[in-house]
Structures are given as structure tokens and as C-alpha cells.
A and B are shown apart, each in its own frame.
Chain A
Amino acid sequence: MAHEELALKLKNQIIKYLNFTDLTPADIDTDVELFGPESPMELDSIDAIELSVLLEREYELKITDSKQGKKVMSSVASMADFIVANGKS
């Protein structure tokens, strides 16, 4: 699956898991920083737990290390890369 399709799929899943009922995938920039007060998405530690559950449930990928988790989940692009690198797309 091309990264673009995966990125779209991820955006829809992020919207569902994080309850962004007023957003569409078009509103989420693939490369933008997801976490922190500077980010347009403003995700926090509770969202990090939700995203790690998303990765486990939808892609069978477990994040074991919180540093690794921060890097993997920093953007939609990095999440897509992680999924592809682990052969799970």
C-alpha cells in the first residue's frame, strides 16, 4: 500500500480513536507535529496511550519504549513509516 493511502487510513483512524468529530482527513497535515502545545492538533499523554492502542489493535505493533513511542507518533508520516518498516501495511 502506498504511503499516501496508509496516511489517509491512519488519519481516519486517528479521527475515530481520538474523537475528532469535527475533523476530516483533509484537515490533518501528514507531516505536522502531532504532540505538544505548539502543534495544531495539541495531543497529550492520554492521546499517546490511545494511539499506542491504535497501533496495537489495527497494525499489531506494540510500542515498548516511551522514547521510541515519542518518535514514532510524532506525525502521521512517522507512524506510516513505522508501520511500513515493520511490514504491517
Chain B
Amino acid sequence: MFIQDMSCISAQSTYDDSLFEKGARFFDADKMVAAEPDYTNLIKSSQLRRMSKLMRMSVATAVPLINKYPDVSGVIIASSNGSVDRSLRFLSQIIEYDEGTLTPTDFVQSTANCIAGGLALIGGIRGYNTTHVNQGLSFESALLDALMQFNEHDQHELLVGGGEEISQGYYNIERKRGMYKDESINTKNLLSSNTKGTLLGEGVTMFMMSVDKNNKSIAKINDVDMIAHVNDEDLANKCLNFLKKNKLNPIDIDCLLLGRSGDSRTDIFYDHLAEKLFPKQSQYVFKHLTGDYCSVSAFATWLVAKLLSGVSLPPACIWSQGENRKPKNVLIYNHSEGLQHGFVLMSGV
């Protein structure tokens, strides 16, 4: 399927694409908060006040795309946590008011499918509508959903997106699980920090996918695959089989975008895969720009689409310079906690 249009909110200036002229910004942080746009002309204030951060970022990225493609057939969203802040607010109400009279708004908005439902409502989109909450593989599952949907049904466009919001409560839970850096860090040094943990990020990326290629197409998503609970060797075999299924050998991949997160316990998967199968290719990275979150491969897909459409990525995204090749076939490899591994194969148009 082809990416016809896309929009991204992240910790960088991605909404207006000025990331590519200004370069990446780095800062001292324990979380990488999204740089939200001015919503004044995008969302009515009476609606905005009710929206969770995830919802307003989703509306700001998706609605312009829906407006350009009003015949879009369906909405597929990936968000492992949904409007987690609303969930935790409702939870707090339950505990703090000892199950007394509670307001329904937080409950209704907390459901993960609130984004896909809300966008369908705003756009009057009555077709296929799903929400994937599959932790680190949420976006890959959503992409696969879209590929199968196009394959089976007479549909031309689908809105596909992924994102998460930061909530202090969720951050506390994950911090207690040992997911984040113990020490304060400048994001520039995240990926070379060589300590355990990463930084939590947030953001939303939306795509208008099309089954047909035309002169507006930005990039192609060839295929998606995933594997879980494996060692290096099984991972490499999976990758090989994935490429073979798409009639490619590792040498045919021009460069990689890797989801290195700066977590010394698990970044080793990226080292091993790259060494084993792609020793000569350039490796790009991105989580020092965005932080890590469950559906971050949506951002990765956006970044590769930019690369394939001829945009130069910020120098900060280069992890290692390999052979100088014009990118035609790019592989994204991202894992979550070294347990869930996803591959997205993209090519230029």
C-alpha cells in the first residue's frame, strides 16, 4: 500500500516539518514531551477542553488528512495505552470518592478505541474501524490490518495511525518496572548512554494509505511482520525469511532504521542483526528524537517515508555510515523490551 499523505506530532518540530531545516533539538529531560501545535484554528475550544492529549494530537494530525480524502473507507488506530491519563483519572475518582457518584466523561474517553471512534464521528467515516492495543507491536498489527483490508475489500483509502500520550501515573508504573533511566540525561546522549533504561516519549503519526499509486504517493509499504520471545538467531532467520518472501536478499536493503532506545540490556539485538545481515549498510536511529513508546514505529514509518521521498534526515539520525546508496528499499526494525520484534519493509515510488 502507498502512503498518500501523513502528519506527525512528536517531541521534535515535525508537525510543520521544520525538523528537517532546523535539525533535531536535544534537551535535559526525564520524559520526551510532544511539541504540540497551536490548536486554536484546528479544534473548537468547547471540544478541545474535553479531549485527552492523545485525542487532540490525533485530531490535529488526522483531520487535515480526512478533509483532503473525504472518501476514506476506514480508520485503523494503534495505541497500546489509549487515553491513559483519563483512565487513571477515572480510577482515581473511584478510589478517592470510594465509588460514590462519578462523572462518566473520563470513563468514556479512557477507552482505547475512543480515538478511532472519535475520528469516525468527526469525519463521518462509517467503514472499517479497529484499534490495536498490542503493546510494542500495536502499530505493526495495525499496518498488517490495513494490508489485509486492502487485499480483501474494494477500498481505496484507509486512515492508519499510531500514538501514545504520557501520563505521570503510567510513567510511575513503568519507572517502577525499571524501564527508564535512573539518572538525568541529555537526550542527545540517550542512545550512547550504555546504561539500562530509556526515556518515555509520546506522539501521534497518521497516514492516509492508498491501495493505488499515483503521482502524490510518498512511499510504499511493502510488508510487515513480527516475532516474539526469540533469541538473535531466530530473529535473524525471521528477518531473512521476511525479506525472501518479498523477493529480497539482505544486500538489497539500502539502509536500516533501527529502534535503538539507549537501553543497554536490549540494544544488543540491533547490534547483532545489523552485524549479521547488514554489515555494509547505513544505520539510522530516531528514539533520541522521540523517546520510546509502544506505537513509536508509526514515527519510524513517517521518517522512512520522508527519506524515501528524497528528504535528507537530520545528521543526528545517522548511527553508522555505510555504503553510500540512494535509498530504494529500507527496512525498519524495532523491538519492545527485547521481547516483541517488528519489521516494516518500505520502498520508494
- Do A and B touch, yes or no (CB under 8 Å, in the complex)? yes
Point out residues on A near B: beta carbons under 8 Å.
17-22, 42, 44, 46, 49-50, 53, 56-57
A57-B97, A57-B100 known; A22 and B45 CB under 8 Å? yes
Q: Which residues of A contact B315 (CB under 8 A)?
A: none
B49 within 8 A of A: yes
Q: Which 9 pairs, one residue from A and one from B, show the smallest C-beta to C-beta distance?
A: A19-B49, A42-B46, A53-B103, A50-B103, A56-B101, A53-B101, A20-B49, A46-B105, A49-B103
- Interchain CB contact under 8 A, A21 and B49: yes
B102 adjacent to chain A (CB < 8 Å): yes
12 interchain pairs (CB within 8 A)?
A17-B103, A18-B49, A22-B49, A42-B46, A44-B46, A46-B104, A46-B105, A49-B104, A50-B103, A53-B101, A53-B103, A56-B101
B265 within 8 A of A: no
Nearest chain A CB to B37's CB is how many angstroms away?
Answer: 15
How many residues of chain B have a CB within 8 Å of chain A? 11
B50 at the interface (CB under 8 A from A): yes
Task: Give the CA-CA distance A50 to B102 in the complex, in Å.
Answer: 9
Complex contacts, A22 vs chain B, CB 8 Å:
45, 49
Minimum CB–CB distance from A39 to chain B (whole Å) comes to 10
- Complex Cα–Cα for A42 and B48 (A): 13
Distance in angstroms from B42 CB to nearest chain A CB is 15
Minimum Cβ distance to chain B for residue A58 (Å): 11
Residues in A neighbouring B97, C-beta threshold 8 A: 57
> Cβ of B101: which chain A residues have Cβ within 8 Å of it?
53, 56-57
The residue on B at minimum CB distance from A20 is B49
Known: A17-B103, A56-B101. 12 other contacts (CB 8 A): A19-B49, A22-B45, A42-B46, A44-B46, A46-B105, A49-B104, A49-B105, A50-B103, A53-B101, A53-B102, A53-B103, A57-B101
Which chain B residues border A50 with CB–CB below 8 Å? Answer: 103, 105
Closest to B105 in A: A46
Chain B nearest CB from A73 CB (Å) reads 14
A44 / chain B contacts, CB cutoff of 8 Å: 46
Contact with A along B252-286 (1 / 0, CB 8 A): 00000000000000000000000000000000000
Q: Which chain B positions have C-beta within 8 A of A42?
A: 46
Q: How far is the CA of A56 from the CA of B104 in the complex (A)?
A: 15
B100 to chain A: which residues have CB within 8 Å?
57
A21 to B97, CA, bound (A): 23
Docked Cα-Cα span, A61 to B46, in Å, equals 27
A53 to B103, CA, bound (A): 7
A46 to B102 Cα, complex, angstroms = 13
Cβ contacts under 8 Å, B103 to chain A: 17, 49-50, 53
Min CB distance B90 to A, Å, is: 13
Mask, B37-55, CB within 8 Å of A = 1, is 0000000011001100000
In the complex, how many angstroms separate the beta carbon of A51 from the nearest chain B beta carbon?
Answer: 10
**Which residues on the A side are within 8 Å of B105 (C-beta)?**
46, 49-50
Whole-angstrom distance between the alpha carbons of A46 and B45 in the complex?
15
Tell me, in angstroms, the Cα distance from A42 to B101 when the chains sit together: 24
Q: Which residues of B contact A46 (CB under 8 A)?
A: 50, 104-105
Q: Inside 8 A of A53's CB, which chain B residues have their CB? A: 101-103
Q: How far is the CA of A50 from the CA of B104 in the complex (A)?
A: 8
Cβ of B102: which chain A residues have Cβ within 8 Å of it?
53
> B residues 5-62 with Cβ under 8 Å of A?
45-46, 49-50
Complex interface residues of chain B between 53 and 111 (CB less than 8 A to chain A): 97, 100-105
Expressed in whole angstroms, the minimum distance between the Cβ of A78 and any Cβ of chain B is 21
Interface residues of B in 131-155 (CB under 8 A from A): none
